[in-house]
């Protein structure tokens, strides 16, 4: 389901109120239909919340490094070409909150983080085309699930799933291999994926009458190795989609005042050389 993968909803109390009003529908068929429908979206207006905890060496959750993000995201030209996006985010960690605006236009990513304006080239459309050959959205297809449920809560359909982590670990190797040589993840390779092992991925969608999702949520736990350090990462991600399936109006900020990222770091290194002399 391309860039807007995510999902989970309801607690035990809410689930207790659910009832199978459409038991004849196969949950796997519905999931594949929702995934295929999302792949046709050319634009999206959404708000994403993410909570991340990094735990070194199986430490208690309370002692882990925490990061919280609240972000609005608008994208258009996803299917038709001329890709553009605009994000506004607040990221908090260690008691410090940073605010940033990022957008993509004409082959450049522009970022403004607390007043520091930088830009760098990236051909996102070529990356997306390459990734689509690997079927980037396939992790949300029913064949990658070990459990899928479909229920109704207060007249609204809720589609829940739990992914097969063994298949997801294999898929991660394919994805990282497909990104080798691109700018998305520097140094990406199939070997890099060997340092990531999924423990649990589950979530759910709230569906509209025409099989788009208006809310999605995902809970993910995986182990990873970073600079010879064993870490466990816990992620909870939520997304609200405004008017799913409808076109949006996307107005990007001015590109004036942004400096090249490479030039910025070259200037920093030059200043350090001067100070050392």
pTM of the predicted protein model: 0.75
The neighbour count for residue 101, using CB atoms within 10 Å, is 15
Higher-scoring residue by pLDDT: 245, 60: 245
Phi, psi of 227 (to 5 degrees): 55, 50
Query: How many whole angstroms separate alpha carbon 137 and alpha carbon 41?
Result: 13
| Cβ(102)–Cβ(110) below 8 Å | yes
What domain range includes position 268?
2-276
Q: What is the mean pLDDT of the segment spanning 107-126?
A: 86
Task: Please determine, for residue 225, whether its predicted confidence score (pLDDT) is greater than 60.
Answer: yes
Task: Report pLDDT for 2.
Answer: 38
Q: What is the 3-state secondary structure (H, E, C) of 136-163?
A: HHHHHCHHHEEEEEEEEECCEEEEEEEE
Q: What is the mean pLDDT of the segment spanning 174-189?
A: 58
Q: Please tell me the total count of domains within the chain.
A: 1
- Mean pLDDT of the chain, nearest integer: 78
Residue keyed to tokens 């979206």: 41
């Amino acid at each position: 389901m391309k860039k807007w993968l995510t999902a989970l909803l309801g607690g035990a109390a809410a689930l207790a109120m659910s009832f199978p009003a459409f038991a004849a529908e196969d949950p796997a068929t519905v999931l594949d239909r929702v995934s295929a429908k999302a792949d046709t979206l050319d634009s999206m207006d959404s708000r994403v919340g993410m909570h991340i905890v990094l735990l070194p060496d199986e430490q208690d959750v309370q002692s882990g490094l925490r990061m919280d993000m609240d972000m609005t995201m608008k994208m258009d030209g996803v299917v038709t070409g001329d890709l553009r996006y605009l994000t506004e985010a607040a990221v908090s960690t260690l008691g410090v909150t940073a605010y940033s605006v990022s957008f993509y236009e004409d082959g450049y990513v522009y970022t403004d983080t607390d007043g520091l304006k930088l830009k760098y080239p990236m051909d996102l459309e070529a990356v997306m085309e390459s990734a689509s050959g690997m079927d980037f959205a396939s992790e949300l297809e029913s064949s990658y699930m070990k459990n899928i449920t479909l229920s109704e809560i207060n007249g609204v359909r809720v589609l829940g799933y739990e992914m097969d982590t063994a298949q997801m670990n294999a898929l991660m190797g394919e994805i990282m291999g497909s990104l080798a040589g691109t700018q998305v993840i520097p140094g990406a390779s199939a070997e890099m994926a060997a340092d990531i092992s999924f423990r649990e991925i589950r979530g759910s969608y709230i569906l509209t009458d025409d099989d788009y999702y208006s809310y999605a949520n995902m809970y993910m736990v995986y182990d990873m190795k970073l600079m010879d350090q064993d870490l466990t990462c816990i992620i909870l991600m939520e997304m609200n989609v405004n008017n799913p399936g409808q076109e949006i109006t996307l107005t990007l900020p001015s590109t004036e005042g942004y400096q090249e990222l490479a030039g910025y770091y070259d200037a920093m290194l030059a200043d350090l050389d001067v100070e050392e002399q």
